[in-house]
Amino acid sequence: MRPLSDFPRVDLTHRPTPLEPMPNLSELLGGPSLYVKRDDCTGLALGGNKARQLEFYFGDAVSRRATTVLVTGAVQSNYVRTVAAAAAKLGLGCHIQLEDRVPGMGEVYHESGNVLLDRLLGAHVHTYPEGEDEAGADGALAEIAEGLKETGERPYLIYLSEEHEPLGALGYVDAAAEIIRQTDQMNVSLKTIVLASGSAATHAGMLVGLRAQGHRDVAVHGICVRRRKDAQMGRVARVVRKTETLLDCVGVVEENDVLVTDDFLGSAYGRLTESGNEAMLVAARTEALLLDPVYTSKAFAGFMDLVRGGTGGPEPVIFWHTGGTPALFAYGPEILSATE
C-alpha cells in the first residue's frame, strides 16, 4: 500500500481519540463488552469525524497555495462547520453552500447549531435550494469559485459527489491503523465496528485501512443515514475502489465486505426516528454520550439492535462515534418533544 506520508497533510485533530468501555450499556443490553471510539473528541470546533478527512483536503489546498476553500452540504452539516473551522485555523477564506435537504424545518434549525458556528467562524454563506442534487450543488459551487478567481482568489473546492478523488477517506485509512494499535494495547478483540454510513468516506476508508493491514475478519457495519441500502452499498463500493486506487492497493476489499442496513434510516435524511430517539436517550442516560439526530442516533440504534440480536457474536463490539454535537441544538424542539 502506498504510504499516507505521500499525501500532503495538515494537523487538525487530537489523535488518538479515546477508545472507552461502556459498562453500563453492556449490562443493560446483556450482550458482549461494548466500546465507543470517541471521534466526537477530535477537538476542532466541537469535534467530529470530518476533521480527520479534512487533514488531507486542506493539506492538498495548502500545497496548491489556495487562498480560500469552498464546500457544499446540508444546512446542519458537520462537514461544512468543520471546513469553516479548519479554514479559520489555517488563515484561509471560506465559502460554504447550504443545501435544503430537510424541508419544513423552523427558525431554530436554520439559525442554531452548526449554522451558528459557521457564522461565528467567519464563513461566507451561500444557499442552494435542492437537497438531493449533488451534481447541481457541485456545479453551483464551481460557479462561486469562478467568481472568486475574478477577484484574484485561488479557490480550492471540496466536492460533494463521489466523482472526485476521495482524499478524505485517507483520514479513515489512518484511523483504521489507530484502532488496531489501541485494541492491541488494551487487549480488546477487534472483530466488529458499527458506524454511520453517509458520504461513504468514513466507511470506505475504514474498510480499506483494515484490509490493507491484514485485518480481513473485522466486520464494519454501516448504518444508512442518507440513502437506501442498495444505493449506499454501491456508493461505498465505488468509494472503496477509488480509495484503493489512490493507495495502489486495488482489490484488498472484497465485494461482500460492504455491509449496510437502512433499517434505521426512517423516512428521510435528517428526520428523527423513534429508534433514534431511544438511542439518544439510552446513550445519554447510561454512558453520558451525546448523539445527534442526523447521524449518530440512527447509527447507535443500529448498534444496539445488532447487540440485542447477537449478530456481532460474543466478541466486543465497537461503536464509532462520529460526532455531530452541534446539531442537537438545531433540533432542540423536536428532541424535547421526544423526551416527554
CATH 3.40.50.1100 placement within the chain: 4-48+166-339, 51-158
Q: Output phi, psi for 5, to 5 deg.
A: -65, -15
Alpha carbon separation from 195 to 87, 110, 118, 226, 306 (Å, rounded): 27, 27, 25, 13, 12
Catalytic residue among 5, 26, 63, 77: 77
Half-sphere exposure of residue 232: CA atoms within 13 angstroms, side-chain side: 25
CATH class, range 4-48+166-339: alpha beta
Q: Helix crossing, 274-287 with 296-309: angle to 10°?
A: 80
SS (H, E, C) 208-253: HHHHHCCCCCCEEEEEECCCCHHHHHHHHHHHHHHHHHHCCCCCCC
The Cα–Cα gap between 52 and 39 comes to: 9
Looking at residue 313, its pLDDT comes to 78
Give pLDDT tens digits along the chain (340 positions): 999 999 999 999 999 999 999 999 999 999 899 999 999 999 999 999 999 999 999 999 999 999 999 999 999 999 999 999 999 999 999 999 999 999 999 999 999 999 999 999 999 999 999 888 889 999 999 999 999 999 999 999 999 888 899 999 999 999 999 999 999 999 999 999 999 999 999 999 999 999 999 999 999 999 999 999 999 999 999 999 999 999 999 999 999 999 999 999 999 999 999 999 999 999 999 999 999 999 999 999 999 999 999 887 789 999 999 999 999 999 999 999 887 7
Q: From 24, 49, 15, 31, select the one nearest 317 (Cα to Cα).
A: 31
CATH no., domain 51-158: 3.40.50.1100
**Catalytic: 161?**
no
The Cα–Cα gap between 339 and 282 comes to: 11
